[in-house]
């Protein structure tokens, strides 16, 4: 038990260090983006003095290292700063209050998590079931069709799959709405209806990885001696796979499921833009357009944190499910 705890603490420390390094990369990359918020707000005809005044008020005239340390300090205390765009809007309207980055991000993050959750509920059972059946009926027509279908979906761009689903399920057969304009206080049934098309799009994208990993992991185990012994005892092929092969294939399957769950949070930008889904991906794109640096940095940091956290979760679950990983040679 102590060895497991030590390994878990090492993984957590590595995750924190990775996130710190990623925060530096995010800050430098975002601040090197072309364009200037002050110039964008004031227009091309603005005087240099007016642009410099806004830059000074927003702290953009400070050295990059000083701005990073200020941002890092705020991040550690849960303060991601104020949105430049909302601050400018409030100032123009004569308001005294500013809108923080968290005020903008939290509702959008909740929407993205809801979309990811709906997709996971659909995709994970389908992928694992298809993987088990493909391994059970290996080299049959079902196996070939499943592989061709999943490879086709994973090879197609997300926006292409999204527009195909819109054409089939919203235009030709108006089953689901093409726009996912959800809002707070919406009934769960209506929210699910408007979320279904982007969820199905993401399902087509992530199912292939999970299905093929499940299939490959189970097939690798089918040649093991204990599987042969189970077959000699007269167990049915399905029972052999479900009872003996699948539990021992959990480690790689957990890893690929966690990676795809991370993608559902970090890779939803294109899908959210296509369906005008009010998630963090759509907020990220809108913020990049207007050079709202604090919001862009916060979105990137959330994407990175979600990806690192889910990878750590997969790593820890693999260690707990596979005793061999607890005693590395």
Higher pLDDT, 42 or 305: 305
**What does the block give as tokens for 77?**
């205390």
d(CA 100, CA 80): 7
pTM of this prediction?
Answer: 0.81
Q: Who has greater pLDDT, 318 or 155?
A: 155
Q: Which domains does the chain have, with CATH numbers?
A: 109-326 (1.10.3720.10)
pLDDT digit string, tens, across residues 253-285: 877 888 888 888 877 888 999 998 999 988 898
Q: What is the pLDDT of residues 53-100, one digit of tens each?
A: 777 777 777 888 888 888 888 888 888 877 777 664 344 444 444 678
pLDDT tens digits, residue range 202-245?
A: 998 888 888 888 888 888 877 778 777 877 777 787 787 777 77
Which has more confidence, 20 or 56?
A: 20
- Please give the structure tokens belonging to residue 306: 């979600």
Q: Helix/strand/coil (H, E, C) string of 196-223?
A: HHHHHHHHHHHHHHHHHHHHHHHHHHCC
Please tell me the distance from the alpha carbon of residue 23 to that of residue 28, in angstroms, as a whole number.
9
User: Of 311, 329, 314, 320, which is closest to residue 1 (Cα–Cα)?
Assistant: 320
Burial (Cβ within 10 Å: 0-12, 13-18, ≥19) of residue 73 = exposed
């Amino acid at each position: 038990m102590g060895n497991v705890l030590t390994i878990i603490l090492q993984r957590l420390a590595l995750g924190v260090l990775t996130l710190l390094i990623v925060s530096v990369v995010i800050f430098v990359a975002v601040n090197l983006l072309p364009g200037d918020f002050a110039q964008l707000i004031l227009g091309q005809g603005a005087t240099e003095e007016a642009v410099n005044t806004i830059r000074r008020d927003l702290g953009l005239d400070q050295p990059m290292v000083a701005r990073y340390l200020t941002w890092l300090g705020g991040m550690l205390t849960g303060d991601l700063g104020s949105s430049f765009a909302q601050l400018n809007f409030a100032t123009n309207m004569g308001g005294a209050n500013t809108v923080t980055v968290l005020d903008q991000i939290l509702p959008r993050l909740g929407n993205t998590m809801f979309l990811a959750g709906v997709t996971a509920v659909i995709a994970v059972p389908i992928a694992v079931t298809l993987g088990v059946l493909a391994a059970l009926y290996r080299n049959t027509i079902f196996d070939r069709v499943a592989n061709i279908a999943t490879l086709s979906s994973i090879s197609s761009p997300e926006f292409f799959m999204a527009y195909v689903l819109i054409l089939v399920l919203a235009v030709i057969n108006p089953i689901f709405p093409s726009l996912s304009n959800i809002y707070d206080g919406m009934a769960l049934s209506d929210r699910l209806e408007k979320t279904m098309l982007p969820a199905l799009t993401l399902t087509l994208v992530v199912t292939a990885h999970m299905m093929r990993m499940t299939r490959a992991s189970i097939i690798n185990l089918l040649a093991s001696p204990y599987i042969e012994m189970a077959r000699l005892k007269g167990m049915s092929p399905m029972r052999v796979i479900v009872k003996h092969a699948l539990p021992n294939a959990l480690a790689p399957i957990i890893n690929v499921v966690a990676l795809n769950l991370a993608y559902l949070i970090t890779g939803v930008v294109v899908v959210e833009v296509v369906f005008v889904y009010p998630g963090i991906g759509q907020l990220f794109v809108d913020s990049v357009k207007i050079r709202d640096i604090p919001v862009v940095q916060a979105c990137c940091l959330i994407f990175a944190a979600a990806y690192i956290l889910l990878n750590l979760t997969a790593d820890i679950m693999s260690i707990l499910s596979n005793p061999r990983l607890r005693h590395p040679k």
